[in-house]
Structure 1
């Protein structure tokens, strides 16, 4: 089962969400310019290799310098610019992957976009704030700077294995961005990622992720967090947005949905692996979460993929 193959919770979340970071292009620019990016409901990453610009999104703004990045969750459009008086160009009208504005390379940036499987938005994108700025002073900045240099090299040279290498580096870019988020738990909205970043609650949350089949009791989880039952329950609900046992049920259902669509595990076996004493209890819980039975969920997924046109 997936929970056994990915021991740390963030890896589990990324796997269950089916998160993939795709490089969307490189921007080289000089002079006065401004680009507007639409709200697409996807996590978008912009990282600067050289130069600087300002960013504006959803009422937030700031300066983006060399070695820094922003990540936006797609809820609002955003603008990158070097001059407030320049009217922004729609970035989607620039149809080639390597964009150029002007003749010099005063500014160089790399863009990436994260796609998720159906249901992955709730696990990942909705658990993030609308915008986060990873500054040069952030602990992740040195790793990000190395990664940007590697991406810049791979995108600028036609070398063997370039497509595979770019894909792997793009995944690393996503992980470093998420690690930066997790280092600032107060910047995260209530939800799964924030609880994984909470130093008091993380041991209990990790236990729920690692052993979802266990019949967890509130006192067991409180002991893992070195807190009283009352204090633990209140803090957990405030940070996760749901009580501990509701969090566990939701996590079980996420695992179940993944297993049903990625493997051929029988429903009865899956219910036992997730700690349900009967198949009917599991089916009832799954139908309450997704509005359909486990087999309906599996068949719907398979029918959808059979209907997709070949590339």
Structure 2
């Protein structure tokens, strides 16, 4: 595994992290068995993956507990542990409310520390922004957590450039987590330049297009009934077929290079700059190993040009989220 420094003064992390969300929710009808998930987490550590990403809302807290169990027994010091707050879910109705108020932040961090079974969180993100709470007020409360030793570094997720600047003026922001891939390049216009100006690391989530860029997913028929991709615009009839044509072009480049489509997609992201640290998620050891090998893929200028020609910016069909989901979880 290769390593990068996250942000100007942040921690050193593996060039590829591990997104843990799918082990508990969203991509299947039921969570994976604990033994399967722990096997993936332990193998990730063995491969040198040091950035583990979770959130308090994944599995309504169960994902944090899972990660905590994986780190028990002396492995805590091997990782940079990242989690998030802000999306409050009603335990009965699952109604979601974005909360950024200081009172909630103070309660959320203590709850996450308890579920993770640790005495501090390395990287603490504000998962989504509620514009009704001044970002300066939220970051001020998060800065207090740093002073108290509960958190080492601060991060934001899915915010615009102006919010990023306002937050960074209150306390240094180490990382910005946003959706970024060959299929989703929205941040390149304004957010990415602002982050780089401020010395903030970029942590792309969904770096392989929620599975589309792997080349393995060709229909939604095999997805679980409650897999959220069934209602995602990019997987809808018409859009899916158009997007698979783009993936076919990527697969052709991959076959010539001796790599897999997912490895090229991840290598392309890594080539966007040394400040980029993608966090692909997986529930299978074999896919984890395939993903991790992308850290060793070095693309030359010709290969990068062919990849961009295969999937030009803005070519993907369909929005990132369905309208209802966008209202609930996209940045506002």
TM-score (norm 2): 0.23
Tell me: higher relative CO, structure 1 or 2? Use CA pairs within 8 A at least 6 residues apart: 2
Which one has a larger percent strand, Structure 1 or Structure 2? 1
TM-score (norm 1): 0.24
